[in-house]
């Protein structure tokens, strides 16, 4: 469960002794560092008193809750604040969230733990220590009141930030005792008891986000909106062929263009035009002739890559990541009464965050700062330090709300590195580097491409007796985290097909099962992508299950249920989705159902899609019911928002998403040829939260993996022909 | 040099005629609520009102905008986020990352001005801006809610 999610490159590991376990476990809660220094103390009236790292209380009883993870729309900021506030027993109406910067975190021995935000771990990865942070602060605030009144702390109670002494009826608010509380020695962490989630009053409730107001009137400053005195703007272009290098550029051709200040090299593969405005920089960059050395990648295309993957489907004698259950699956299938076999494929996909990659950097002789949308502020700090040559303590990262993340802006921080590389050539001058949409499409870390061959054997009665899953495709770890690959075997690409419980377990019991992954890498950079690997693997397994069910002459839901007795949580969400969708009930003429269930990011998901296919082969998704068991549900309405969003992200990929490789580059360049789902195509989404309250699962990513297969299975039901590759725009359905 | 009426205020901007209105609004005027998403009029993050009509400002050269044309950006839509669309958006917690929402709100406001009680089909036709977080379901509900609010007001 712990090591499967990548968040940072080796680079940040060199800089920090990280590892999520170490960060959580070693977290110094109870470290209480009240403001030192007169300037800060003097402003305490305004800024409040730090009771502990997570909680600052102002004299007006406002509780400032510190948030270390990044906010990119997924609602983690609000969810984490709910968890702290729940234990703090403060007044939710007086809660404000405040972000911490990685430089501060480092200066305080990483008191706020791991700041990386990916793998749907924002809540589940920090819930324990943030709740303890809230509880610790509560204990200290109560003790301060007890000390002031000289009564036993056991005689006090607190609600909504108001402390009451039962016997005397005296009351005092958090704001009045915070200064005294901050001076106390924090309690023994072992003495801190967390609430039973059954007693939650703030957490677990469908309350509104803390961060909406500024998103309604244009006042929220995203990194791309930043204005600094003396700032210049940079437009950048890297060699379109991955791995290619910059040879030369013809500066003279754009020397007279308005606003241009200077043209600079960026590492060995890119060039930037720096100008007064970004529009001037971009216009000049587009007008400047650039010569590239494309390198060996230029020989690659979607066809050559598909061929390499296809070979991996039948390869033998190499170290596969694999596991098996029961006896010899291959022999069983070969000798079975009925055999089913199918090959599926999914393409590279770009993230296409609405806010293109950007970063503002300012580098002086003894200070490097960046303002950046990042999912991994500490990786951004490490990159800033490396690229500027300044030690970590002389660097800082100013985090901004991300205009979308989806896994693009994690540990790699390639765009932050570029911005620092440009800015260090302009000492003291803030440089805002913005990627054009075209640059953003051309230089992503794409969702890995893969193919999957599945075979199954059925006995005479239609019972499944064996299954073989051979996955072939690109490895994220090979690109970003080679150290995680053991003896050439990369388990991570099998997410959702794992034997082990907890994170992304295969949800069926198959008598003879063999699951294998053949690594086939390409020159195209790959990385996490909302629900990565479970998305592709969910398509493969769940569409194949429908093909096998049909071969067995069974209803797809019944066929699955028979194999899920040993996976009660998988089964429970499948049943919940089927029930909400009234699975057995007839649909209007021409509308068909498709179901899917899968597990990823420590949560269980299932979907029932209702789809029609017109005579011309046009697919319409009318309704999708999605059930999720994420263990504890911290904010049900935000979970619903994430489910709704995952349907859109998943359907964009299902219908349109495809990055094709031509002469070594990505051919698609903008939203005209990398289409997105629009509102008119949005089905009705119904979310069923099935919390089982005995684990902490993710929310942002898990449900996307059932979107495509449920729709594909409904199309299969409608047309009688299985869909085996995506996107649907390439599939002839009529 | 251009004269622009933005949010009721006339401003002189020093800029080449071919510069897209979006970048004039963002870089010369300094109003950054209007966003860059694609630059090719696909995503609608740059939506503003031009004489009451919603337009994609990334694809309008500023040279074609007259001093008498009235431009309204998200910052000028209402005082204190009091437009029914903004209120409905808040009520239903529509935004996720929020980056596209200025454009979505401007598109919805323009729709309701022309069509105070839009059907689902009207909303489908008018609301073509891209949202990568996938807030469409709540956008649809919020447009209906805003229509109801405006009616009651």
Residue A220 lies in a domain: no
Distance from CA of A592 to the nearest CA of B (A): 22
pLDDT at A68 over 80: yes
SS3 (DSSP) at A18: coil
A661 and A600 share a domain?
A: yes
Cα–Cα distance for residue pair B79/A217, rounded to 1 Å: 9
Minimal Cβ distance to A403: which of B74, B97, B137: B97
pLDDT score, position B151: 85
SS3 (DSSP) at A14: helix
Residue A271 lies in a domain: yes
Q: Using the beta-carbon criterion (under 8 Å), do B93 and A406 form an inter-chain contact? A: no
Looking only at the bridges linking them, the beta strands covering B70-72 and B2-6 are: parallel
Going by pLDDT thresholds of 50, 70 and 90, the confidence category of residue A361 is very high
Q: Which residues of B touch A354 (CB under 8 A)?
A: 35, 37, 43, 45, 97, 99-100, 130-133
pLDDT score, position B41: 98
Q: What is the pLDDT of residues A88-99, one digit of tens each?
A: 999 999 999 999
Q: Using the beta-carbon criterion (under 8 Å), do A648 and B123 form an inter-chain contact? A: no
Rounded average pLDDT over A29-34: 29
Cα–Cα distance for residue pair B73/A34, rounded to 1 Å: 44
pLDDT score, position A2: 33
Q: Using the beta-carbon criterion (under 8 Å), do B99 and A354 form an inter-chain contact? A: yes
pLDDT score, position A47: 79
Cα–Cα distance for residue pair A255/A249, rounded to 1 Å: 12
Q: What is the pLDDT of residues A269-300, one digit of tens each?
A: 999 999 999 999 999 999 999 999 999 999 99
pLDDT at A33 over 90: no
Q: Which residues of A touch B106 (CB under 8 A)?
A: none
Q: Using the beta-carbon criterion (under 8 Å), do B75 and A647 form an inter-chain contact? A: no
CB A641 within 8 A of CB B96: yes
Look over chain B and give the mean of its residue pLDDT values, rounded to a whole number: 97
SS3 (DSSP) at B100: coil
pLDDT score, position A509: 98
Q: What is the pLDDT of residues A525-535, one digit of tens each?
A: 999 999 999 99
pLDDT at A27 over 50: no
Residue A3 lies in a domain: no
Distance from CA of B65 to the nearest CA of A (A): 18
Residue A427 lies in a domain: yes
Q: Report the residue of B33, B90, B97 to disrupt the A interface, i.e. the one with the largest count of A CBs within 10 Å.
A: B97
Minimal Cβ distance to B96: which of A73, A277, A647: A73
Residue B149, exposed/middle/buried by CB under 10 A (0-12, 13-18, 19+)?
A: middle
Q: Which residues contact A397 (CB under 8 A, 6 or more apart)?
A: A101, A102, A103, A369, A370, A372, A374, A377, A378, A380, A381, A384
pLDDT score, position A25: 27
CA A359 vs CA A72, A239, A388, A404, A432: distances in Å: 15, 19, 14, 14, 6
| A to B CB pairs, distance under 8 Å | 175
pLDDT at B18 over 90: yes
A618 and A691 share a domain?
A: yes
Rounded average pLDDT over B48-65: 98
Q: What is the pLDDT of residues B111-135, one digit of tens each?
A: 999 999 999 999 999 999 999 999 9
Q: Which residues of B touch A670 (CB under 8 A)?
A: 38-40, 42
A406 and A458 share a domain?
A: no
Q: Using the beta-carbon criterion (under 8 Å), do A218 and B19 form an inter-chain contact? A: no
Rounded average pLDDT over A448-473: 98
Look over chain A and give the mean of its residue pLDDT values, rounded to a whole number: 94
Q: Report the residue of A206, A211, A212 to disrupt the B interface, i.e. the one with the largest count of B CBs within 10 Å.
A: A212
pLDDT at A248 over 70: yes
A330 and A362 share a domain?
A: no
pLDDT at A465 over 90: yes
Minimal Cβ distance to B90: which of A216, A233, A670: A216
Q: Using the beta-carbon criterion (under 8 Å), do B133 and A209 form an inter-chain contact? A: no
A456 and A421 share a domain?
A: no
Cα–Cα distance for residue pair B27/B43, rounded to 1 Å: 20
Q: Report the residue of A72, A206, A218, A350 to disrupt the B interface, i.e. the one with the largest count of B CBs within 10 Å.
A: A218
Q: Which domain holds residue A152?
A: 10-204
Structural domain boundaries of chain B? 2-76, 79-152
- Where a domain ends, among A384, A412, A434? A434
A275 and A325 share a domain?
A: no
pLDDT at A402 over 80: yes
| Angle in degrees, CA B120, A620, B126, rounded to 5 | 30
Q: How much of chain A exceeds pLDDT 70, in percent?
A: 94
pLDDT score, position A35: 29
Q: Using the beta-carbon criterion (under 8 Å), do A75 and B90 form an inter-chain contact? A: no
SS3 (DSSP) at B94: coil
Residue A5 lies in a domain: no
pLDDT at A505 over 60: yes
Distance from CA of B8 to the nearest CA of A (A): 16
Q: Do you know the residue count of chain B?
A: 153
Rounded average pLDDT over A200-218: 98
Rounded average pLDDT over B2-22: 96
pLDDT score, position A193: 97
Q: Which residues of A touch B101 (CB under 8 A)?
A: 215-216
Cα–Cα distance for residue pair A397/A3, rounded to 1 Å: 26
pLDDT score, position A21: 28
pLDDT score, position A17: 30
Domain covering B79-152 in this structure, CATH number = 1.10.150.120
Residue A177 lies in a domain: yes
- B79-152: same fold as B2-76? no
A391 and A502 share a domain?
A: no
pLDDT at A11 over 80: no
pLDDT score, position B2: 86
Which CATH number does the domain B2-76 belong to among 3.20.20.20, 3.10.20.30, 3.20.20.140, 3.30.420.40?
Answer: 3.10.20.30
A175 and A265 share a domain?
A: no
Q: Chain B: residue nearest A206 by CA?
A: B93
Going by pLDDT thresholds of 50, 70 and 90, the confidence category of residue A4 is very low
pLDDT score, position A46: 65
Helix axes A636-655, B136-152, angle to 10 degrees: 120
pLDDT score, position A734: 87
Q: What is the pLDDT of residues A574-628, one digit of tens each?
A: 999 999 999 999 999 999 999 999 999 999 999 999 999 999 999 999 999 999 9
A159 and A61 share a domain?
A: yes
Indicate the range of A31-35, A458-462, B39-43 predicted with least confidence: A31-35
Q: Using the beta-carbon criterion (under 8 Å), do B134 and A279 form an inter-chain contact? A: no
pLDDT score, position B1: 74
Tokens of A115: 């700041």
Indicate the range of A27-36, A150-159, A583-592, A599-608 predicted with least confidence: A27-36
A289 and A421 share a domain?
A: yes
pLDDT at A407 over 50: yes
Report the CATH number that the domain containing residue A374 is assigned in CATH.
3.30.365.10
Q: Using the beta-carbon criterion (under 8 Å), do B81 and A216 form an inter-chain contact? A: yes
Q: Do you know the residue count of chain A?
A: 734
pLDDT at A10 over 70: no
The count of domains in chain A is 3
């Amino acid at each position: 469960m712990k090591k499967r999610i990548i968040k940072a490159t080796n680079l940040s590991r060199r800089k920090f002794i990280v590892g999520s376990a170490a960060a959580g476990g070693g977290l110094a809660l109870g470290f209480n560092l009240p403001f030192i220094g007169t300037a800060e103390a003097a402003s305490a009236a305004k800024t409040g008193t730090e009771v502990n790292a997570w909680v600052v209380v102002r004299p007006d009883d406002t509780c400032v809750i510190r948030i270390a993870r990044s906010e990119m729309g997924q609602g983690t900021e609000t969810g984490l604040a709910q968890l702290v506030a729940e234990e703090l027993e403060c007044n939710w109406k007086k809660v404000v969230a405040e972000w911490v910067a990685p430089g501060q975190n480092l200066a305080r021995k990483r008191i706020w733990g791991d700041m990386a935000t990916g793998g749907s771990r924002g809540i589940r990865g920090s819930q324990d220590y943030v709740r303890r942070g809230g509880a610790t602060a509560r204990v200290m605030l109560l003790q301060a009141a007890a000390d002031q009144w000289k009564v036993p702390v056991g005689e006090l109670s607190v609600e909504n930030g108001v402390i009451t002494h039962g016997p005397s009826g005296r009351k005092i608010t958090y704001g009045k005792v915070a200064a005294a509380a901050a001076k106390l020695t924090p309690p023994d962490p072992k003495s801190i008891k967390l609430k039973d989630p059954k007693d939650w009053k703030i957490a677990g409730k469908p309350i509104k986000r803390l961060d909406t107001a500024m998103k309604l009137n244009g006042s929220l400053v995203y990194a791309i909106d930043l204005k600094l005195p003396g700032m210049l703007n940079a437009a950048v272009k890297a060699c379109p062929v991955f791995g290619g290098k910059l040879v030369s550029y013809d500066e003279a051709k754009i020397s007279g263009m308005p606003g241009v200040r200077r043209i600079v090299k960026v590492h060995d593969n890119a060039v930037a035009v720096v100008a007064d405005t970004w529009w001037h920089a971009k216009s000049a960059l587009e007008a400047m002739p650039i010569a590239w050395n494309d390198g060996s990648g230029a020989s690659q295309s979607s066809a050559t890559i598909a061929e390499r993957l296809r070979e991996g489907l039948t390869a033998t004698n190499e170290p596969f990541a694999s596991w098996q259950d029961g006896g010899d699956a291959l022999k069983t299938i070969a000798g079975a009464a009925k055999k089913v076999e199918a090959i599926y494929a999914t393409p590279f996909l770009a993230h296409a965050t609405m806010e293109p990659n950007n970063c503002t950097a300012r580098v002086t002789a003894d200070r490097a700062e960046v303002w950046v949308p990042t999912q991994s502020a500490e990786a951004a700090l490490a990159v800033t330090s490396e690229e500027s040559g300044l030690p970590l303590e002389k660097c800082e990262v100013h985090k901004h709300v991300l205009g979308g993340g989806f896994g693009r802006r994690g540990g790699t921080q390639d765009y932050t590195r570029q911005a620092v590389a440009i800015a260090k050539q302009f000492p003291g001058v803030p440089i805002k580097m913005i990627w054009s949409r075209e640059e953003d499409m051309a230089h992503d870390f794409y969702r890995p491409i893969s193919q999957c061959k599945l075979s199954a054997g059925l006995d005479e009665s239609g019972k499944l007796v064996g299954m073989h899953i051979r996955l072939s495709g690109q490895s994220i770890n090979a690109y970003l985290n080679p150290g995680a690959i053991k003896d050439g075997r990369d388990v991570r690409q099998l997410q959702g097909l794992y034997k082990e419980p907890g994170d992304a377990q295969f949800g069926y019991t198959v008598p003879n099962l063999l699951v294998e992954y053949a690594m086939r890498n390409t020159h195209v950079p790959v990385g996490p992508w909302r629900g990565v690997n479970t998305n592709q693997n969910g398509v493969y397994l769940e569409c194949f299950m429908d093909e096998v069910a049909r071969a067995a002459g069974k209803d797809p839901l019944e066929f699955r249920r028979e194999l899920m007795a040993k996976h009660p949580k998988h089964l429970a969400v499948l049943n919940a989705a089927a029930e909400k969708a009234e699975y057995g009930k007839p649909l209007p003429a021409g509308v068909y159902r498709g179901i899917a269930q899968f597990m990823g990011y420590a949560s269980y998901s299932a979907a029932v899609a209702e789809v029609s296919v017109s005579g011309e082969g046009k697919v319409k998704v009318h309704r999708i019911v999605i059930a999720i068991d994420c263990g504890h549900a911290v904010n049900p309405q935000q979970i619903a928002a994430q489910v709704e969003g995952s349907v859109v992200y998943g359907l964009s990929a299902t219908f349109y998403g495809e990055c094709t490789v031509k002469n070594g580059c990505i051919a698609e360049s903008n939203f005209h040829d990398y289409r997105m789902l629009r509102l008119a195509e949005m089905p009705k989404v119904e979310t069923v939260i099935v919390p089982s309250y005995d684990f902490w699962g993710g929310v942002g990513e898990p449900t996307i993996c059932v979107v495509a297969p449920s729709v594909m299975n409904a199309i299969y039901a409608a047309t009688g022909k299985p869909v085996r590759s995506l996107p649907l725009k390439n599939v002839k359905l009529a | 040099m251009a004269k622009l009426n933005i949010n009721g205020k006339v401003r002189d901007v020093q800029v080449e005629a071919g510069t897209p209105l979006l970048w004039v609004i963002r870089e010369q005027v300094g109003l950054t609520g209007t966003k860059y998403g694609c630059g090719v009029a696909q995503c609608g993050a740059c939506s503003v009102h031009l004489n009451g009509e919603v337009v994609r400002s990334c694809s309008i050269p500023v040279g074609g905008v007259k001093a008498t044309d009235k431009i309204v950006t998200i910052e000028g839509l209402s005082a204190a986020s009091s437009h029914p669309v903004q209120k409905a958006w808040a009520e239903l917690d529509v935004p996720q990352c929020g980056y596209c929402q200025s454009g979505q709100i401007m598109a919805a406001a323009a729709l309701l001005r022309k069509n105070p009680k839009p059907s689902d089909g009207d909303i489908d036709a008018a609301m073509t801006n891209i949202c990568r977080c996938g807030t469409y379901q709540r956008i649809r509900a919020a447009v209906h809610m805003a229509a109801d609010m405006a009616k009651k007001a």
